[in-house]
A and B are shown apart, each in its own frame.
Chain A
Amino acid sequence: MTSPFDARPDEAIGRLLREHLGGADSVVFAARVRAAIAGEADTAWDVLARWARPGLVAAAAVALTVGLWLRIGSGGEMESITLADAVQAAGVPEALLTAPSSSSADAVLAAIVGDQ
């Protein structure tokens, strides 16, 4: 009989433990572990996705708040701008705006070239 003090493995006990302990199919178990790892990665993306929407909402809320604050800070000095004011500021020829019917392409070009 092998001495219990032997520095070598006891083959009989080792074989018995290997045969009777632990599951059978390592490939199936490995597939299970890999699926768990993949699931963990999905979970990480899910966490990011969960954070993304509230993050966008928060950013929008901050932008609105800042805009409102700037507007209030300006003390209502901003005047309302009409379409005619904007068009005039952009230098659109008056003839195009006051014409009774839609202008032809020649009239538009002539007005623009003449304005240059």
Chain B
Amino acid sequence: MRTTDVTDAELAARAAGGDGDAFGELVVRHAPAARRAATVVLSSDADADDAAQDGFLAAWRSIDRYDGNRPFRPWLMRIVVNAARDFRRRRAVRQTDELSPGLASGAAGPERSAERLLLRERLVEALRLLPERQRLAVTMFDAEGFAHAEIAEVLGVPEGTVRSDVFHARRTLRGALAPFYEEMK
């Protein structure tokens, strides 16, 4: 059976039995979303990767407490978001908690087009305008496809608050990215 045919809950059950390969498959599946969530909480890709790794390690340690009858992604994402927030608290003496402009230029190579760089910079600037909870809500909803109820579970807020956060975040992003938004659609 291919690993892609195996559900998250089945992999988690195997991981709880000590199967590191099963947990590795869960990491591969959910790393992109986890790293994006950590990125919108923290200020750099490198810090986000460290925090996401902390989150996965915490998930590995507590995998036996995961309820297989519930969706895996929100359970994992809550751990990752908490890990990113803990990381930010530990780092607080060094930097502020805002998304830094360094994120815009950090991964850009010379091959990237000027327009792409500009778009990334605009996106980072726009995200900096948003409170952390709105950044997380809009990223999980629009980029990851989480349901409002799942995001509410991750962030520990009512579902209506999530809807409001997504609404306000979209309005800000669309305004800041107006020159690009119509092309992107």
Residue of chain A at shortest CB distance from B143: A17
Interface of A toward B, CB cutoff 8 Å: 1, 4-5, 7, 9-18, 20-24, 26-27, 29-30, 32-34, 36-38, 40
- If A5-B167, A10-B142, A16-B119 touch, does A33 touch B27 (CB 8 Å cutoff)? yes
Closest CB-CB distance, B1 to chain A, in whole Å? 20
Closest CB-CB distance, B169 to chain A, in whole Å? 9
B43 at the interface (CB under 8 A from A): no
Contacts of A40 on B, CB cut-off 8 Å? 57
A/B pair count, beta carbons within 8 Å: 106
Q: Which of B31, B60, B123, B148 contacts A26 (CB 8 A)?
A: B31
Could you tell me the distance between the alpha carbons of A17 and B135 in the complex, rounded to whole angstroms? 10
Could you tell me the distance between the alpha carbons of A26 and B166 in the complex, rounded to whole angstroms? 27
Could you tell me the distance between the alpha carbons of A21 and B35 in the complex, rounded to whole angstroms? 8
Question: Could you say which interface size class chain B belongs to?
Answer: 35 or more
Closest CB-CB distance, A47 to chain B, in whole Å? 15
The contact string, 1 if C-beta is below 8 Å from chain A, for chain B 87-103, is 00000000000000000
Overall SS of chain A's interface: helix
- If A5-B167, A29-B49, A37-B23 touch, does A11 touch B35 (CB 8 Å cutoff)? no
Contacts of B77 on A, CB cut-off 8 Å? none
Known contacts A4-B167, A20-B119, A30-B28; 10 additional CB pairs below 8 A are A13-B174, A15-B143, A18-B36, A20-B123, A21-B35, A21-B36, A21-B123, A24-B107, A29-B31, A29-B49
Contacts of A15 on B, CB cut-off 8 Å? 143, 184
Residue of chain A at shortest CB distance from B49: A23
Could you tell me the distance between the alpha carbons of A32 and B53 in the complex, rounded to whole angstroms? 8
- If A33-B57, A36-B57 touch, does A26 touch B32 (CB 8 Å cutoff)? yes
Contacts of B139 on A, CB cut-off 8 Å? 17, 21
B120 at the interface (CB under 8 A from A): yes
- If A5-B167, A10-B170 touch, does A23 touch B35 (CB 8 Å cutoff)? yes
- If A4-B171, A21-B36, A23-B35 touch, does A37 touch B20 (CB 8 Å cutoff)? yes
Contacts of B52 on A, CB cut-off 8 Å? 29
B49–A11 touching, CB < 8 Å: no
Closest CB-CB distance, B4 to chain A, in whole Å? 14
- If A18-B32, A21-B139 touch, does A34 touch B145 (CB 8 Å cutoff)? no
